[in-house]
Every structure is written in C-alpha cells, then in structure tokens.
Chains A and B, each alone.
Chain A
C-alpha cells in the first residue's frame, strides 16, 4: 500500500483544513487498516490526530472537538477535516495506516507529508 496526501498548503485562521489521502496498491475498504492522520510540528513533534476504522472514528482528546476523518470508497481515499484553525495547527500532516498485532500497534506505511501553514 502507498499513500499520498493532497490539499492546500496555506489556509487562513478560523477556516477549515481539508486534506485527502489517496490509497494505491490496496483498498480503503480493507479490514486490515486503521486509516490515520498524524502531524508534525517543530514545537510538539509528532502528534497522532486520529483514525477511521469500519465506520468508527477515534480522535486525540485535544483535537476531538475540531476533527473529522472520513472515507470515500468510490475514490479509494480518506480525508481529514480540521476546523477553527489557529497558527498552532501549522504542521506537516501525514496520512498513515495503524496496524495491530494482538494489543500492540504500529504506523505503516506513511505518506510523504504535506506542509500546511495557517496564516492570514
């Protein structure tokens, strides 16, 4: 499976960020993958945002009120929406897949990442 992010590189404060992650080499409907978003900032490092799995979502508590992750099976992609943006949301956003073996987990693969700057 390969993943590729796309979306705007610049968004204004208070607006909504919409990113998509196109999946190739596999199906977004697969039961193997928990489709995830992760972001990286210089100040806070890597931060897990959340995942979508079989109609269920799970979000980081600090972002839960502002984030939505969804699937588009017709286009074989999944999406991230993050609203009420502030400059603190400036980051490189990665899509990835969360994998499990028993109770243990890991993220693989990762997309190449997309830099999103929040600025007026």
Chain B
C-alpha cells in the first residue's frame, strides 16, 4: 500500500505508557517522522529519523520501527500530551512524501 495507516483514536490513563503505530510499505525503506498537533496549532516535530528527539521534546517521547510499522511511544503520558499525532514518510519511489491519517490521543 502507498498509504500510511494510523488508528484514528487512542486513549491512555494519566501517567501510563501509550504506543501509537503507523503502518505502510514505505516504512520498510524509509524511517518515519512524527508530529504532534494541538488544537488550533501547527504540527510540531517530536521524532525524526532515525528515532531521534529534537531539542525541547521531553524524553518520554520515543520512536521505534520494525518491518512496515513505525511506533511512537509516550512513557508516562501527561495531560499536555493530549493532541493529534501524525506520522510521515517518503513514498516507496522516494520522490514524494505522505502523511498518516492521524491518531487522536486522549489522556484520561
């Protein structure tokens, strides 16, 4: 598939660990990047290849990948982590880019 598939919604109890996944054929060739988008705001990079965190992103955010699936893990979710999360990658042909449909994370 040329798409990146994400679960539409995930919930986690405050302080618990949650994993958000992204599945697609292109992930066998290219690492994913991950973005957090709070309501009314622009996306913010939280994980870049190869599973690195930009400065200023808390270390509870981590990335991993296996086969055609990339994962974003939030260890000890906080209320401020409630947001939409998107993965992105290059297409298999390497010439274009695509985004997953996004996962809405609720912190309960």
| Contacts from A to B (Cβ < 8 Å) | 45-48, 58, 60-61, 94, 98-99, 101, 103-113
Say yes or no: is B66 at the interface (Cβ < 8 Å to chain A): no
Provided the pairs A45-B101, A46-B86 are in contact, do residues A103 and B94 lie with their beta carbons within 8 angstroms? yes
Known: A94-B42, A104-B30, A106-B33. A48 touches B48 (CB 8 A): no
B99, CB-defined interface residue at 8 Å: yes
How many B residues face the partner with a CB closer than 8 A? Answer: 26
Interface residues of B (CB under 8 A from A): 29-31, 33, 35, 41-45, 48-50, 54, 86, 88, 90, 94-102
Check B88 against A110 for contact (C-beta < 8 Å): no
Given that A104-B31, A105-B33, A108-B48 are contacting pairs, would A47 and B99 also be in contact in the complex, using a CB cutoff of 8 Å?
Answer: yes
Cα distance A45–B84 in the bound complex, in angstroms: 11
For B98, list chain A residues within 8 Å (CB). Answer: 48
Given contact pairs A45-B102, A106-B48, A109-B45, a sample of 15 additional A-B residue pairs in the complex whose CB atoms are under 8 Å apart: A45-B99, A46-B86, A60-B96, A101-B50, A103-B29, A103-B94, A105-B33, A106-B88, A107-B43, A107-B97, A108-B45, A110-B43, A110-B44, A111-B42, A113-B42
- Within 8 Å CB of A98, what residues of B? 97
